[in-house]
Amino acid sequence: MNGRPISGASAHARKRAGRRGAKGLTAVVSGATLLLVAACGGGSDSGDGGGGKDGADAGKPSQAVVTIAPKDGADAVATDGALRISAAKGKLTEVTVKDPKGRTVPGKIVADGAKWSPERHLASGTKYKVHAIAKDSDGRVAAKDTSFTTLVPKNTFVGQFTPEDGTKVGVGMPFSVRFTRGITAPDAVEKAIDIKTEPSVPVEGHWFGNDRLDFRPEKYWKPGTKVTVTMNLDGVEGRPGVYGKQAKTLRFEIGRSQVSVVDVKTKQMTVKRDGKVIKKIPVTTGKPGYETWNGQMVISERLKVTRMNGETVGYGGEYDIKDVPHAQRLSTSGTFIHGNYWGGGAFGNYNASHGCIGLRDVRGGYDKNVSAAWFFDRSMIGDVVVVKNSNDKIIAPDNGYNGWNMSWEKWKA
């Protein structure tokens, strides 16, 4: 596209006018006067551009040519890969891409000014305006303005996430997203989720299957850490023809550190708050054949009372307790640490459960002085319970929010 001239009357035109004035005077003035007029004519000849090629070319249009794809007025444009901006016979100096709310698409000029590349995908069903400027080798400006509208997807997905916006959680809580459709473009989806922390700490994502993505640091969160998550999924093609429709920013905070260690052999749980032991509690864990998982487990759900039925976890009709008090979930498969009012003398003496960790309680859970109530009242989502010395294997990292059982190297891989 031809640019707009940026100068007024050319230095060349002023030069010609100056020479005509000098010629008319030489017929009537002396030689001394002629020298003076010639000197004045020489000053006019230099012009604003200093004379020469620059002055002569100042009135010409820029040779730079700006090209923008998609074409002006295009509709149903792809959200990724379709936006391309380049310059020929010049270099790009400014590119702005904005949506109707004035939000700019981040990008950068690359290839020594020949191209501009967006740093992320575009939102779906959105009209964008593009303004691009380039300069040729003589510094003359060419500009181009276009607009286009991205596609409106027929099939979409969202991410269902935890923890919730504005919550405070324990040091073991990852940021976990479960997608409503199986993802076949994991890199694009993961790139669209940005996590920043204060204080800063490296956070990496790990996929469990094609529908779940968890983020965590190498070690437990530092107490007091503030986490900001930007989910820029709107317009991401997560699988062919299926696009994200989510654009959300949320924040959560890490509370105090509480890590409780259950020793199956001694049948004791040691509760540590910010690294200091605050209580030791007698427990009962899984009996032979129903051993409790080993490993690091994160509290993911808290229920003051719940029903536990063996049929829901593959134990047939072995038990059906309709009023289990102070129950806190440790695994998706049904492992809880909970109050137990039927255990008699098991606590601290022998293991009698079907895999859960039982703490002494009373029916109805009304007594705040019993172990289960004490522990429940001092726990929060994201607290860690570690089980050791069980005859069972280590719990799978995706069975609950228990990715801490995976090494940092495997997590990043």
Q: Tell me the H-state helices in 291-401.
A: 371-377
Q: How far apart are CA 311 and CA 93, in angstroms?
A: 68
Instruction: State the chain's maximal CA–CA distance in angstroms.
Output: 131
Where are any strands of DSSP class E within 42-174? 65-69, 74-77, 84-88, 91-98, 107-110, 115-118, 127-135, 141-150, 155-157, 159-162, 168-169
Tokens coding 321: 């307790």
CA–CA separation, 269 and 283 (whole Å): 7
Burial state string for 109-126 with b = 16 or more CB within 10 A and e = fewer than 16: beeebebbebebbbbbeb
User: Which residue in 163, 155, 200, 201 sits closest to 182, CA to CA?
Assistant: 155
Asked if residue 62 lies in contact with residue 141, where contact means CB atoms within 8 angstroms, the answer is yes
At residue 255, φ and ψ (nearest 5 deg) are: -85, -155
What is the SS3 assignment for 132-148?
EEEECCCCCEEEEEEEE
Task: List the catalytic residues.
Answer: 338, 356
Residue 230 contacts residue 120 (beta carbons within 8 Å): no
In angstroms, the first-to-last Cα distance of the chain is: 48
